[in-house]
Amino acid sequence: MANKKSSGAVSNAADKAVTKTKTVKKSAALPKITVKEHKKVIFLGSEAAPFIATGGLADVLGSLPKELAKNDDLDVSVMLPLYSNIADEYRNNFKFLTNFYVSVGWRRQYAGVFLFEYQKVKFYFIDNEYYFKREGNIYGFYDDGERFAFFSRAALDAIARLNIYPDVLHCNDWQTAASVIYLKGMYYGDENFRKIKTVFTIHNIEYQGKFGMETFADLFGFPDNVKQFVEFDGFVNLMKGAIEMTDIVSTVSPTYANEIKFPFYAHGLDPIIRRNENKLRGILNGIDIDYYNPKTDKCIFKNYSVSDLSGKAVCKAELQKMLGLPERKDVPIIAVISRLVSHKGLDLIKDTAEKLLSCDVQLIILGKGEIGYENYFRYISDAYQGKCCVIIAYNQDLSRKIYSGADLFLMPSKSEPCGLSQMIASRYGTVPIVRETGGLNDSIKDISEDGGNGFTFHEYNSDEMLAKINQALTLYSDKEKWNKLVNRVIKTDFSWKKQAELYSEMYK
């Protein structure tokens, strides 16, 4: 009974959500009646804040749908796996809607669907404990291919079961790439599915979802007609399949959209991107400026705002105290908050860390990732106690204490689809030093340019980076000029407002 009631409620809402704004013209005597109708968009993804987060994708899926939902013409939902790691404070409020069985190759697997409405966005969670009740991380299991094949297929079946067919299905990264392939290659016989347009967003082209060809039918259950799209270099490549079959491919900055046409950035997919160039778009991400707000953030030591930055000095002093660094106002703190993986440009930091630490600076590094980087950063933290503090962790609370307490934020990525940390740092008045790539190039302008809001360098080269850091340190010692720059940085608008409009346009 409970099931029926809940799914009924969902399909009623869905029934009202039809396409386009139609102007109904009647005879001259009658007034024009404008019927406002919604466009329905469903996002599919493997993580979204605040429910489950391991990286930038979660920030985007937690904030872009919320911004889009402010647009009365859009009806926005998100579908996620129901991981056991989602906190009870949310789970306890999830409402069971329905359950059914899903084909995963020759397997039949249970899927439950739960609904939770949060900040005007409907979040649907696909339940299957065999796949999503795991210890620790949400990725990195031997059967990730199977887990996300299940999720991608269950999401489509849930759409049919709940009768919530969207106008646009917006899939993100390899974990939901199979949804595009199923939809375009297997579900097109059903008119309701055939009408759905798909957007596939690449958040990072490095992770493509590659599996041995033996998984093609056995695991993914793909029909032969999609082999030409899905096969690449003798492997199943889910991202490639989605790029070929989707209506629109988007990525998270205009510069990255151009970069991935070239081998240096594309991890092998450059010919595929070039061939699909006509449907490629690049839209820069935004950040949730209510969540990341130094005026109200409860994680930071003292709140502050553009009009009164005095709290930032308190944040700095308390951060130094907490991390065992000398409490000095005059010494610049350089911060790095990053996943410790190669494309983040950590080799440049490794190359220059000791030179940098011979200057009068304090260096704080927060992140976790590849063991080689973790070990190196532990080593410099021990060798330069009182100057360098390294915390090997992913920690939201601490990250915001660092964003607010630091002076400079270093992000020398080799490649960076968008990058959110440089925007968050700016929001807290911490000046970014970045390499000109991907979204870093689209969000930070060098101080030498009109309206410059940071320091940028071009070549992936440690001497160039060090020269930029030195330029920043010189400016830091000129308080008047520095304060002017901080003011400009903190005022930069990185909200979703304009960016979400670009998405709405794209959906239309």
Interaction site with ligand GLC (CB under 6 A): 55-57, 60, 203-204, 252, 285, 416-420, 439
Q: Going by DSSP bridges, is the β-strand pair 210-212/168-172 parallel, antiparallel, or unpaired?
A: unpaired
Question: Min. distance of Cβ 264 from ligand GLC in angstroms?
Answer: 16
Residue 99 burial (10 A CB sphere; 0-12, 13-18, 19+):
middle
Report in angstroms how near the CB of residue 217 gets to ligand GLC at its nearest. Answer: 31
Q: Helical H runs in 247-363?
A: 254-259, 263-266, 270-275, 310-323, 346-357
Query: Per 3-state DSSP, what percentage of the chain is helix, strand, and coil (rounded to 5)?
Result: 40, 20, 35
- Closer to ligand GLC at the Cβ: 59 or 297? 59
| Between 49 and 160, CB nearer to ligand GLC | 49
At which residue do the structure tokens 């320091």 appear? 455
* Rounded distance between C-alpha atoms, residue 234 and residue 328, angstroms: 58
Beta carbon of residue 36, minimum distance to ligand GLC (angstroms, whole number): 31
Query: If we measure between CA atoms, which residue out of 417, 462, 469, 429 comes closest to residue 60?
Result: 417
Given a contact cutoff of 8 angstroms between Cβ atoms, the answer to whether 196 and 169 are in contact is yes
For residue 442, the minimal CB distance to ligand GLC (Å) is 11
The full DSSP string for 141-156 is: -TTHHHHHHHHHHHHH
Of 252 and 406, the one with the shorter C-beta distance to ligand GLC is 252
Q: Smallest Cα–Cα separation from 111: which of 65, 145, 147?
A: 147
Comparing CB distances to ligand GLC, the nearer of 417 and 454 is 417
CA neighbor of 379 nearest in space, from 370, 387, 390, 365 = 390
Q: Is the CB of 80 or the CB of 319 nearer to ligand GLC? A: 80
- Find the shortest distance in angstroms from Cβ 463 to ligand GLC: 25
**DSSP string covering 20-71:** S-EEE---TTSPPEEE--PEEEEEE-S-BTTTB-SSHHHHHHHHHHHHHTTS
- Beta carbon of residue 419, minimum distance to ligand GLC (angstroms, whole number): 5
Q: Pairing mode, if any, of strands 121-127 and 107-118? A: antiparallel
In 3D space, the residue among 483, 124, 192 whose CA is nearest the CA of residue 313 turns out to be 483
For 347, phi then psi, to 5°, come to: -65, -35
Specify burial of residue 18 (Cβ count, 10 A radius: 0-12, 13-18, 19+).
Answer: middle
Closest chain position to ligand GLC (CB): 56
Is 51:181 a contact under the CB 8 Å cutoff?
Answer: no
Smallest gap from residue 439 Cβ to ligand GLC (A):
6
Choice between 146 and 436, CB closer to ligand GLC: 436
Q: Which is nearer to ligand GLC, 185 or 367 (CB)?
A: 367
Smallest separation, CB 421 to ligand GLC (Å): 8
- Dmax of the chain from CA atoms? 85
Least distance (Å) between residue 78 CB and ligand GLC? 15
Which CB sits closer to ligand GLC, 346 or 475? 346
**Shortest distance (Å) from residue 249 CB to ligand GLC:** 14
Using the minimum distance from each CB to ligand GLC, give the nearer residue, 61 or 315: 61
CB of 360 to ligand GLC, least distance (A): 32
Characterize 458-484 residue by residue with b for buried, 16 or more Cβ atoms within 10 angstroms of its Cβ, and e for exposed. Answer: eebebeebbebbebbbebbeeeeebee
Q: In what order do the strands lie in the sheet with 95-104?
A: 95-104, 107-118, 121-127, 74-81, 39-44, 168-172, 197-202, 248-251, 280-282
| DSSP state string for 296-319 | T-TTSSS--BTTBTHHHHHHHHHH
Q: Quick one: 412 or 417, whose CB is closer to ligand GLC? A: 417
- By C-beta, is 339 or 350 nearer to ligand GLC? 339
Nearer CB in complex with ligand GLC: 61/115: 61
Angle subtended by helix axes 177-185 and 238-245, to nearest 10: 50
User: Which residues contact residue 487 at a Cβ distance below 8 angstroms, ignoring those fewer than 6 apart?
Assistant: 306, 309
CB of 172 to ligand GLC, least distance (A): 8
